[in-house]
Structure 1
């Protein structure tokens, strides 16, 4: 059941209403943006909502089941608000979204909540983005707590892993560029795939401040999992730390950290469950 103020409830009973839709987006880096379908800016609850006729929402799907309710928001990329580089670099992944209705003539008179959730999948094509907004039920799709697994559940360098990342981090310089995902660096002197699954963070250039996971590394040639939003240029500086494939053997030999391995490497697999005496 949706609730609102007495003033707005009274306005909703009128034959003609002055309702507009507002979107409040809070990114994980703390940046908060406001957009509205109104033709001028509105201040609601201390945040200014900028006019954005480029946003087009689909119908909001609600149900009383435990499936994830969602809607799609389609918008035209705007350099003054949401940009392609920001979307491609993942700044909006998991951003908190609140969508509501408000009376444009009385923005302090209350709101009608339509949806609160998080941005899920984002697709880009020809200057247009489509962002999936997932409802609160999305939180129930996550696994909380520890689950048995032969692979390590910790992330390299976190409080459970306890590996000192600074001892496994090097700084490099881009020597040649193939595309937005592939480049070669100044000699780093590490074996092939030493940095695979490691995190590469750009220090200079158009991608400065952004981080991406390394997919593969052969000698000084790098391939990234995701294409960078901006061009990689010769001379760009970066840091990269060794990668971990979460296997016990890697934890033991590469990082000498077997004591902190957060997995069950000797746990019997499905083959042991299906096995029975006499079958070898």
Structure 2
């Protein structure tokens, strides 16, 4: 029998839901709501008390997945959320289907995690289709550059400015202390970001003010530790002078630094 015959049968269908969470294209977490672990296509789906809010017409673009509080995916959102999106794929499979065929019924990303009770966490997801209907931001005019540093409009290559091999000597929950190379001006990394490896995944977090060897980390230092090797990337204050002097990228500057100070809509009486 085909998957469709099992799915729409009133007697033969024995559906099981499979949940796959993917982080950084390299790390996957796979669970099933069956009463025992399932081996499909040489992949083990771990049995767990996992469920979802279901799919129905008019339910919108969200779907909630409830997992135990100590689930590995739920723990990723305990404190600071992962810097990259955690994708969700939900499949349906039938126990008696000897062809081991399973179909995708949901694709999306986790938006947030809510710990509703001491023993369970609700993962709020957004479907892939919802991203197609988002309204994009309009580019406005101003003296400051509207581009995000290192993006496709800015064109600055982060690999050319990142300082790698730095080791955290101390941290206090809000700031880290590292020994920076000599010759860098104070505040060089203000507004930049820090990058490090954990479980084979590259994590990133924004930087606040750098004062000497002390650098503030947006979101705190959770996930960082003493002795950890990190890479720091400098920030930009969005002015034409820093764009030219720090990055030599003034030809791609997105602002209008010579914009006149008077609005063309202001009524000026000549007499």
User: 2:26 touches 2:201 (CA, 8 Å); kept in 1?
Assistant: no
2:213 to 211, 220, 223: 220
Q: In structure 2, how many angstroms separate the alpha carbons of the residues matched to 1:207 and 1:224? A: 21
Instruction: State yes or no: 1:73 paired with 2:71.
Output: no
Q: In structure 2, how many angstroms separate the alpha carbons of the residues matched to 1:261 and 1:33? A: 42
Q: CA deviation at 1:243?
A: 0.7
Count of residue pairs the alignment pairs up: 265
TM-score (norm 1): 0.73
Give the corresponding residue for 2:75. 84
Q: CA deviation at 1:135?
A: 1.6
CA deviation string 1:133-178 (max 9, x = no partner): 1123321254569734545455434554343545533343323321
For residue 254 of structure 1, give the secondary structure of its aligned residue in structure 2. helix
Stretches of structure 2 lacking an aligned partner (at least 5 in a row): none
Please show how residues 40-59 of structure 1 align to structure 2 within 5 Å. Answer: 40-44=36-40, 47-53=43-49, 55-59=50-54
Give the corresponding residue for 1:8. 6
Distance change (3 Å), C-alpha of 1:82 and 1:96: closer
Q: In structure 2, how many angstroms separate the alpha carbons of the residues matched to 1:37 and 1:152? A: 50
TM-score (norm 2): 0.75
Task: Give the structure with the larger strand fraction.
Answer: 2
Give the corresponding residue for 2:107. 116
Stretches of structure 1 lacking an aligned partner (at least 5 in a row): none
User: 2:74 touches 2:121 (CA, 8 Å); kept in 1?
Assistant: no
Q: CA deviation at 1:37?
A: 0.2
Which range is displaced more, 133-142 or 205-214? 205-214
User: 1:27 touches 1:92 (CA, 8 Å); kept in 2?
Assistant: no
Q: CA deviation at 1:119?
A: 1.9
Q: CA deviation at 1:240?
A: 0.9
Please show how residues 116-265 of structure 1 align to structure 2 within 5 Å. Answer: 116-123=107-114, 129-142=121-134, 147-150=139-142, 151-152=144-145, 154-158=147-151, 160-166=153-159, 168-171=161-164, 172-179=166-173, 181-189=174-182, 190-202=184-196, 209-233=202-226, 235-265=227-257
Give the corresponding residue for 2:19. 23
Q: CA deviation at 1:39?
A: 1.4
User: 1:196 touches 1:243 (CA, 8 Å); kept in 2?
Assistant: yes
User: 2:156 touches 2:249 (CA, 8 Å); kept in 1?
Assistant: yes
Q: In structure 2, how many angstroms separate the alpha carbons of the residues matched to 1:44 and 1:207? A: 25
Q: CA deviation at 1:7?
A: 2.2
CA deviation string 1:197-222 (max 9, x = no partner): 2121237x999953322122122211
